[in-house]
Amino acid sequence: MSRLGPLKRTGKWKNQPPTPAEYRKLGTRIVELHPVTLSQNARTSGGGNITMVPKSAITVSPQETWLAEKVSIWHAGLHDNPLGQRLTALMISKGLADSAAPMSLLADHPNVQFNYYRGGLGSCSVEMH
């Protein structure tokens, strides 16, 4: 998943995500952030205050990303979702491109490199808080 997280679907793709081919044609645009992304960003960057998190963001689009000779993905891990880090790496390495998880579309890019901070990978166990 991208740093923007899942798309909040409205309009044309409200009931079904675009195909990978349609998604890759999208240019840079302003997107409305998904409520899960807003809550994650509030936890990691907004001091827990969801009202401090912008509700929209500008994308680095698939169209521009595809022009890159190499895509280098950096996971610091300290604030990233441990399952999401593993899921996107799995989807990309296995060639599972699905626009419902936009980062997975990099499965079709010829040169993707993952970089991890091993101390920040975290655990995928269920925790009660």
- What pLDDT is stored for residue 73 in this prediction? 86
Instruction: Specify if 23 maps to a domain.
Output: yes
- What pLDDT is stored for residue 56 in this prediction? 94
Give the range of the structural domain holding residue 84, as residue numbers without chain letter. 11-120
* pLDDT tier at 9, thresholds 50, 70, 90: low
pLDDT in tens, 36-83: 888 888 887 778 889 989 999 998 888 888 899 999 988 766 666 777
pLDDT in tens, 79-125: 667 777 788 889 999 999 988 888 889 999 999 998 887 777 777 77
Instruction: Specify if 128 maps to a domain.
Output: no
Instruction: Specify if 100 maps to a domain.
Output: yes
CA 36 to chain centre: 12
- What pLDDT is stored for residue 5 in this prediction? 47
The predicted model scores a pTM of 0.65
Instruction: Specify if 82 maps to a domain.
Output: yes
Could you tell me the CATH number of the domain that includes residue 113?
3.40.50.1360
Cα gap 123→83, rounded to integer Å: 8
At a CB cut-off of 8 Å and minimum separation 6, what does 5 contact? Answer: 33, 34, 36, 37, 40
Instruction: Specify if 1 maps to a domain.
Output: no
Instruction: Specify if 46 maps to a domain.
Output: yes
**42: helix, coil or strand?**
helix
Which of the pair, 26 or 124, is modelled with greater confidence?
A: 26
Cα gap 87→118, rounded to integer Å: 16
Residue pair 5/33 in contact by the 8 Å Cβ criterion: yes
Query: Rg (Cα) of the chain, in Å, rounded?
Result: 15
Please give the C-alpha separations between residue 7 and each of 36, 62, 65, 70, 128, in angstroms, as whole numbers: 10, 14, 18, 25, 27
Domain count, the chain: 1
Instruction: Specify if 78 maps to a domain.
Output: yes
